[in-house]
């Protein structure tokens, strides 16, 4: 099992290039099978979740041609199977996007019901409510969601809560449902807009993506196009906090600064300098940072996917901070790990109370999920001494070349898989 070994203490300094957005890419790959023409997708991140979804897509019969690391050509004309294997949904929940895509195109789909996951219970009732409103019959049979319709039709759908997944899944199916669909209380995340833009390039008629009311006029057919995925705001934010926590100076390139505003605002509030350029942001932290309060919210609020990263940074800031998680109930699993590094963090319900300490010290910790794993790496980079992060398979799900990018900023981090390699690293860093 791979681990990261880190010798902390180096401020991160330099430039880093951000990959395409994983969460946008997952939905975009699913949407790409909705036409029989070829779709060329650029700026695809080379991360585990994406590679698993590409396998799932090729397994149901689509042609998947990986031209290079960040470019793929997909042709959905050869799909013979509308049933997705449990193997894939087990590995990535977001393969449920194939439900909306297949239902829209073929009026039937069969996708195993995703189980719970390590950030909490994640129901998909709003997705199913949307499909039913569009005229599909949706049943759970032998652990799978089976959705079918003789014909879909437009509908007026009010989401009970803001859900990225439900908004995108319903938007995909509705784009091929005759008539008009209105999704109210829609998620406004940048990747909702990105998927709408792709579908519109494919001939769909979607208006209002990026606001809380999305209006869709169903079309009969979608066609081929070329599309480049937006930069990953969570990967970018992770590097911004890595710069802050290590008192570094990092230029984060290939980003859309507008998408990072909630992160930028918090970094400025705690004492970092953030300079915005057209497609880059520079984060400089020259002194000890200050406390703050933060609550996760749907976009444009502070993202839940950036919650562990800010908490780790606040663990080293002056004063008492309160971090409130309002999206997922089980997103503080890293707190005990962070405490093992000397942080003063106490979790009560959906709130973490953090009394900043002047320094953390290296320890052996385990990544409980993707973003918390990345946050523990940040903690290791900022800590004194050696940190070993176990279970980095979670981190590899969503960060392309994570350790290489960190090393290019001066971090001492290595991916290792044996005691011998750990000893070698320790000898090298002294």
Contact residues: ligand UD1, CB under 6 A: 23, 26, 94, 122-127, 161, 163-166, 187, 303-305, 327-328
123 or 319, CB closer to ligand UD1? 123
Q: How far is the CB of 171 from ligand UD1 (least distance, A)?
A: 12
Strand partners, 64: 74
Catalytic residue, from 117, 213, 265, 353: name it: 117
305 or 414, CB closer to ligand UD1? 305
Helix (H) or strand (E) holding 421: helix 419-429
How far, in Å, CA of 351 to CA of 321, rounded?
Answer: 10
Query: 319's torsion region: left (phi>0), alpha (psi -120 to 50) or beta?
Result: left
Q: How far is the CB of 394 from ligand UD1 (least distance, A)?
A: 12
Residue among 417, 422, 416, 375 at smallest CA distance from 395: 375
What are the E-state strand segments in 108-196?
108-112, 137-141, 144-148, 156-158, 180-184
Q: How far is the CB of 302 from ligand UD1 (least distance, A)?
A: 11
How far, in Å, CA of 383 to CA of 264, rounded?
Answer: 23
10 or 296, CB closer to ligand UD1? 296
164 or 347, CB closer to ligand UD1? 164
Q: How far is the CB of 306 from ligand UD1 (least distance, A)?
A: 9
255 or 409, CB closer to ligand UD1? 255
Sheet holding 205-207, edge to edge: 156-158, 180-184, 213-217, 205-207
Q: Is residue 201 annotated as a catalytic residue, yes or no?
A: no
Return the residue matching tokens 């859309």.
Answer: 256
Return the residue matching tokens 């319903």.
Answer: 170
Q: How far is the CB of 328 from ligand UD1 (least distance, A)?
A: 6
Q: In this chain, which residue has its C-beta nearest to ligand UD1?
A: 165
Helix (H) or strand (E) holding 4: strand 3-7
Q: List, by residue number, the catalytic residues.
A: 117
């Amino acid at each position: 099992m791979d681990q990261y070994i880190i010798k902390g203490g180096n401020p991160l300094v330099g430039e880093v290039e951000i990959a395409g957005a994983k969460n946008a890419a997952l939905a975009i790959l699913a949407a790409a099978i909705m036409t029989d023409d070829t779709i060329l997708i650029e700026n695809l991140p080379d991360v585990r979740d994406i590679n698993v979804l590409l396998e799932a897509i090729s397994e149901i019969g689509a042609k998947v041609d990986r031209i290079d690391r960040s470019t793929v050509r997909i042709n959905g004309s050869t799909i013979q199977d509308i049933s997705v294997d449990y193997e894939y949904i087990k590995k990535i929940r977001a393969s449920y996007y194939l439900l909306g895509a297949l239902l829209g195109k073929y009026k039937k789909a069969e996708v195993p019901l995703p189980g719970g996951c390590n950030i909490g219970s994640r129901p998909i009732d709003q997705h199913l409510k949307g499909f039913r409103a569009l005229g599909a019959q949706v049943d759970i049979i032998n652990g799978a969601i089976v959705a079918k319709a003789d014909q879909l039709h437009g509908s007026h759908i009010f989401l009970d809560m803001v859900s990225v997944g439900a908004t995108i899944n319903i938007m995909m199916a509705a784009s091929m449902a005759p008539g008009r669909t209105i999704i109210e209380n829609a998620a406004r995340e940048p990747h909702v807009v990105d998927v709408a833009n792709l579908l519109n390039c494919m001939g769909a008629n979607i208006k209002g993506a990026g606001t809380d009311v999305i209006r869709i006029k169903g079309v009969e057919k979608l066609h081929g196009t070329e599309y480049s995925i937006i930069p990953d705001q969570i990967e970018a934010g992770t590097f911004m906090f890595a710069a802050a926590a290590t008192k570094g100076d990092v230029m984060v390139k290939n980003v859309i600064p507008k998408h990072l505003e909630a992160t930028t605002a918090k970094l400025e509030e705690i004492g970092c300098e953030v300079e915005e350029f057209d497609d880059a942001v520079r984060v400089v932290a020259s002194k000890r940072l200050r406390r703050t309060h933060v609550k996760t919210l749907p976009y444009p609020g502070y993202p839940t996917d950036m919650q562990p990263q800010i908490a780790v940074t606040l663990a080293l800031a002056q004063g008492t901070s309160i971090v409130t998680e309002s999206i997922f109930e089980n997103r503080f699993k890293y707190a005990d790990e962070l405490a093992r590094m000397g942080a003063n963090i106490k979790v009560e319900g959906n709130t973490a109370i953090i009394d900043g300490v002047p320094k953390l010290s290296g320890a052996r910790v385990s990544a409980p999920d993707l973003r918390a794993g990345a946050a523990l790496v940040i903690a290791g980079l900022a800590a004194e001494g050696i940190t070993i992060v176990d279970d980095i398979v979670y981190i590899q799900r969503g960060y392309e070349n994570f350790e290489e990018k960190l090393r290019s900023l001066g971090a001492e981090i290595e991916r290792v898989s044996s005691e011998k390699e750990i000893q070698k690293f320790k000898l090298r860093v002294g």
